[in-house]
Structure 1
Amino acid sequence: MRKIVVLYGQPKDPDHFPSYYEQKHLPLAAQLPGLRASRHSFDIAAPEGPAPFFCMWEGEFDSGEALAGAMSSEIGRRVAADTANYATGGVTLFHCGPVEGKKS
C-alpha cells in the first residue's frame, strides 16, 4: 500500500475553501484511477499555538506504481490543476508506504 497526504495551508478565504473542496474537488479526486480509499479533515490541531494547516487529505493506493499512474493520468492532471481554485494557502504533498514499528 502507498499513501499520498496533502496538507493545505491557511487559505485567503476560509469560507470558500470547505464548500468548494467538498462539492467540487473531492468528487473529482474520487475519480483517480486506483484510489482505494480517501479521507479528509478540517479538524487540524497543533500542540501549541495555531495549526499550520487548514485541511488534510489522505488517499490510499495499492502500490507506488498505482499512485504514480493515478497522478499522471488525465484525471490526476485535472485534480492537480483544480487545486488553484481553492488552495490559496499552498499545499504540502508527500507519499509514504505502510507505517512500520516495533511491537510492544
Structure 2
Amino acid sequence: MVKLIALYKQPEDKEAFDEHYKNVHTPITKKIPGLRKMEVTRIVGSPTGDSKYYLLCEMYYDDHESLKKAMKTEESKASGKDLMSFAGNLVTMMVGEEVE
C-alpha cells in the first residue's frame, strides 16, 4: 500500500480548523477515486512534551499508479484547492510506502 500523508502544524484557531476539517475538507477528500482508507490522528504531544504538530492524516491507495491516477481527478483537485484555502501554511504533504 501507498499512503499520501498530510502533517499539519498547530493552527491558531483549533476550533475553526477542526470544524472545517471535519465538516468540509474530509467529505471532499473521501470522494477521491481510488482512496481505500483515510486515518486521522490528533497529535497530543511528544516524548519531550508539546509538539509543533497538530494532526496527521494518512490516505491509503493500492499502489503508486493508483495514487497518481487519483491525483489527476477533479475530486482530488477540489480537495487540494480546499486544503490550500484553510491550511496551506500549516500542511506538509508526503508519499510513503508501508514496510513489512
Q: What TM-score do the two structures reach when normalised by structure 2?
A: 0.90
Aligned-residue identity in percent: 30
* Higher mean C-alpha displacement, 47-56 vs 79-88: 79-88
SS in 1 for 2:53: coil
Q: What TM-score do the two structures reach when normalised by structure 1?
A: 0.86
Whole-Å Cα distance in 2 between the matches of residues 89 and 45 of structure 1? Answer: 21
Whole-Å Cα distance in 2 between the matches of residues 97 and 75 of structure 1? Answer: 23
Match of 1:77 in 2: 77
Query: 4+ runs of 1 displaced by more than 6 Å?
Result: none
Whole-Å Cα distance in 2 between the matches of residues 25 and 67 of structure 1? Answer: 19
Unaligned runs of 5+ in 1: none
Q: Deviations over 1:19-46 (max 9, x none)?
A: 1101110011000110011110224421
Deviation at 1:96, TM superposition (A): 1.2
Deviation at 1:99, TM superposition (A): 1.5
Mark the CA change 1:43 to 1:85 in structure 2 (over 3 Å): closer, same or farther.
same
SS in 2 for 1:38: strand
* Higher mean C-alpha displacement, 39-48 vs 28-37: 39-48
Asked whether the equivalents of residues 11 and 88 of structure 1 are also in contact (C-alpha less than 8 Å), the reply is no
Whichever structure has more helix as a proportion of its residues is 2
Asked whether the equivalents of residues 28 and 79 of structure 1 are also in contact (C-alpha less than 8 Å), the reply is yes
User: Does 1:4 find its partner at 2:29?
Assistant: no
Match of 2:17 in 1: 17
Asked whether the equivalents of residues 33 and 70 of structure 1 are also in contact (C-alpha less than 8 Å), the reply is yes
Match of 1:51 in 2: 51
Q: Which protein has the larger Cα radius of gyration, Structure 1 or Structure 2? A: 1
**Aligned-residue RMSD, C-alpha:** 1.5
Q: Deviations over 1:37-88 (max 9, x none)?
A: 1110224421213212111100110010111111121111110110133326
